Amino acid sequence: MSKVTTGPNECLRGKVAVVTGAARGIGRATAVAFAREGADIVGLDICKPVDPRSGVKPSIPEDLEETGRLVRAIGRRWLGIKVDQRDMAALRAAAAQTEREFGGIDILFANAGIQSFHPLLEMEDADWHITIDVNLTGTANALRAFAPYIVKRGGGRIIMTSSTQGQHGTKYGAAYSAAKSGIIGLMKSAALELGPNKITVNALIPGLIDTPLTRHEERYAQVLQDGGRTPEGSSADEEAARKILTSKTPLGVPWIEPEDVAPVVVFLASDAARMVSGATYDVTGGDSAHNTA
């Protein structure tokens, strides 16, 4: 559970921030971090299964409610909305509701996404479309739905969650890598278009984060197979995967805590980052050193 404290600078005082994928993980940690810095929060999440073939446990309404409880405990306003970001009409309705209830929108953290693994030659059509539609089209939908209100506000910040897997290929994760790479292109294009409106647009590049997206049997098996080992289908797989990931990460951590990612998003949402746009910001425990400059 996130620790409730007051932010040292309140650098987002008076701001209204929209966070997608707010029910848990990076979304929850960032919503709480935004609140600590003085922002009121609108948290969006689908809170139900999306991909029937994914090994990831889906978020549930109680997860989103817990994020709201944490935000309110800090003394900030909260609005939780259950929505599928593939539904453009629903997103536009959420944006209009946010303006009615909060007076405007200053920050969008387009963070929601899913992940599943399927070999290319065994991939079903739905596997590709669900991943692309949620991660890439859904992020673009969030941008298109909420950015007009940021323009109306006279400027603001947009941060999108990509992935280190959007900077390189991923075995059995072609759809995910393609979607997350596409988000980088989307971000850079939006930065060019929205800059004249005093809106900065950047992308967060997380490594392996300690969330349900990376902590499940399917993911452990992939790590073991890439390391030349055979998964046992038992609890031993998690510990073996932990050792492999720890040995590969320069800072010696298998998974990064969401709370270690949130401060970077806070920075990008603040006035301190007013001259930062069209950029990618990595939080990977040092794994970024393996990428080309």
Q: Which is catalytic among the residues 172, 176, 220, 281?
A: 176
Sequential DSSP letters for 147-175 = HHHHHHHT-EEEEEE--GGGSS--TT-HH
Q: What is the pTM of this model?
A: 0.90
The backbone region for 58, taken as left when phi is positive above 0, alpha when psi lies in -120 to 50, beta otherwise, is: beta
Lowest mean pLDDT, pick from 92-101, 145-154, 243-252: 243-252
The more confident residue out of 236 and 114 is: 114
pLDDT digits (tens, 9 = 90+) for 12-53: 999 999 999 999 999 999 999 999 999 999 999 999 999 988
149 tagged catalytic: no
Mean pLDDT in residue range 147-156: 98
Mean pLDDT in residue range 128-150: 98
pLDDT of 165 > 90? The answer is no
Q: What is the DSSP letter of 137?
A: I
Mean pLDDT in residue range 267-279: 98
Which pLDDT band holds residue 4 (cuts at 50, 70, 90)?
very low
Whole-number Å distance between alpha carbons of 96 and 266:
24
Distance from chain centroid for Cα 166: 13
Place of tokens 């603001």: 156
Name the average pLDDT for the chain: 90
Lowest mean pLDDT, pick from 26-40, 169-183, 191-205, 224-238: 224-238
Closest listed residue to residue 108, CA positions, set 265, 259, 262, 260: 265
Whole-number Å distance between alpha carbons of 58 and 134:
14
Which pLDDT band holds residue 232 (cuts at 50, 70, 90)?
low
Q: Which pLDDT does position 253 carry in this prediction?
A: 78
Q: Which pLDDT does position 8 carry in this prediction?
A: 63
**Radius of gyration for the alpha carbons in the chain, expressed in angstroms and rounded:** 18
Instruction: Give domain limits for the chain.
Output: 16-209+257-286, 216-254
Mean pLDDT in residue range 204-228: 74
Which pLDDT band holds residue 192 (cuts at 50, 70, 90)?
very high
CATH number of 16-209+257-286: 3.40.50.720
